[in-house]
Chain A
């Protein structure tokens, strides 16, 4: 077996990691959204301690990936951005957890 193929096999679990979720800030956002039904932008910003711009940019990426749903609504004329995890996002998050377990298991051997 060629050296390159051995390396690829060894790195296989890492290659399967979802890069959208793997970024720490996005992982934190998904972790919070996975334990609530929905939350607004402000609540998530306070909990994750991310800046407004940073959170906004990560949310856009997660929305593009189809992992979260962003709804704009008005409550007594005040705008509220409501965020929730989509079914696809929940599945991807669970998959990410099991992928990471596999990575660490393979690292420890």
Chain B
């Protein structure tokens, strides 16, 4: 038998991802995009779409925080990881922050230049599906690496697919299926999250009182 302390740490850290909360959160983010795409197709003004998106994303974040606090910790226990792990988590936060900044800059640049290209040349918006896909795969690959959570690679692909698929369907079939393009990968993630959550709840029943270790 070989006891590897790195593997023990990795196993302990990975176990905190087996509650399905992350999966449900990421799935709900894609589902929100599907809802916004549906509102857009129905001609709802952009300002209202933005309000709906912000409210729903706020609800998703609240679900994530409450889920971790009220479901995961009371059943699985509380842990503070060591310095190396904290450094990795900090890097993952930087990746997310970097992605948000790049996304915001890209949005601002695109909104200024989107219609300003010369006729006959590809417009900036034509590169959007590729940029979306590359960004999703890059960000999720880095997160999978820093958070030691391999299934995030798969989620990167699921996040990357909707925009290129939507554009391809529009180009080749001439129909707008944006809500479906976002909803299908969202449902896959939500289903994985639900299965993980159910098995987590079965595996870790709500704990009884703490053991008395003779200290008050």
Contact = CB atoms under 8 A, between A and B. Distances in A.
A42 B213 contact: no
Interface stretch (B40-48, B77-85, B137-145, B161-169): B77-85
Contacts of B214: 60
A78 B207 CA distance: 12
Contact of A31 (B5, B15, B210): B5
Contacts of A42: 75-78, 207, 210
A95 interface: no
- Categorize the interface residue count of chain A: 20 to 34
A53 B209 CA distance: 12
B213 A60 contact: yes
A91 B48 CA distance: 61
A24 to B, nearest CB: 10
Interface string A42-66: 1111110000110110011001000
A62 to B, nearest CB: 11
Interface string A7-47: 00000000000000000000100011011111111111111
Contact of A41 (B8, B82, B204, B210): B210
A63 B211 CA distance: 15
Nearest to A55: B211
Contacts of A36: 9, 12, 79-82
B12 A56 contact: no
Contacts of B216: 72
Contacts of A59: 213
B80 A38 contact: yes
B79 A79 contact: no
Given A59-B213, A71-B215, A72-B213, 6 more contacts: A35-B8, A36-B80, A37-B83, A60-B214, A81-B213, A81-B215
